[in-house]
């Protein structure tokens, strides 16, 4: 039995994934077919240190959509465009294109921060995130 010391492998054609070949570059086009949608990751930055200073800092990562100002898009929704909404304790959400948001002078107690992607007409895109923090 002889073994080759070196070898190479190459796809003759891309592996089949079951996805349509004519998809748009954004992941949202497959939302109804595969469950894929825009990606949203939200985390609290230095949670305990900021809480001690009555501050909440949220950092967001996205994929599958271009982050745009809804007013710049003339409030016309597109599958591949969104903005970020930050909401503290059920108050009015803040629309933003910033991937970092700071809530200052937060009173003591338990707080909930909702973060979500929204289309230019403020319809939620994908699943939002709920973050919880205790301010001493």
Distance CA 26, CA 21 (A): 13
What does the pLDDT read at residue 36? 61
Residue 14 lies in a domain: no
What does the pLDDT read at residue 96? 95
Where do runs of H (alpha helix) occur along 3-124?
Answer: 31-34, 47-52
Residue 4 lies in a domain: no
Residue 31 lies in a domain: no
Tally of domains in the chain: 1
Residue 53 lies in a domain: yes
Q: Which domain holds residue 116?
A: 40-135
Distance CA 117, CA 75 (A): 14
Confidence of residue 109 (pLDDT cuts 50, 70, 90): very high
pTM: 0.72
Q: Bridge partners of 11?
A: none
Phi and psi, residue 27, nearest 5°: -75, -15
Whether 130 has a pLDDT exceeding 80, the answer reads: yes
Residue 1 lies in a domain: no
Cα separations (Å) of 113 from 9, 19, 84, 124, 131? 49, 35, 13, 15, 5
CATH assignment of the domain containing 129: 2.60.40.10
Residue 23 lies in a domain: no
Residue 30 lies in a domain: no
Residue 123 lies in a domain: yes
Mean pLDDT computed over 49-71:
93
């Amino acid at each position: 039995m002889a073994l080759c010391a070196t070898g190479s492998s190459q796809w003759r054609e891309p592996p089949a994934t079951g996805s349509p070949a004519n998809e748009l570059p954004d992941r949202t086009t497959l939302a109804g077919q595969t469950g894929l949608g825009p990606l949203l990751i939200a985390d609290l930055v230095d949670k305990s240190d900021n809480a001690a200073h009555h501050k909440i800092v949220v950092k967001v990562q996205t994929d599958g959509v271009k982050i745009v100002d809804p007013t710049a898009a003339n409030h016309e929704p597109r599958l591949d465009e969104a903005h970020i909404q930050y909401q503290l304790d059920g108050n009015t959400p803040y629309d933003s294109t910033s991937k970092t948001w700071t809530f200052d002078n937060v009173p003591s107690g338990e707080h909930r921060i909702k973060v979500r992607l929204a289309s230019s007409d403020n319809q939620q895109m994908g699943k939002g995130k709920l973050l919880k923090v205790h301010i001493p």
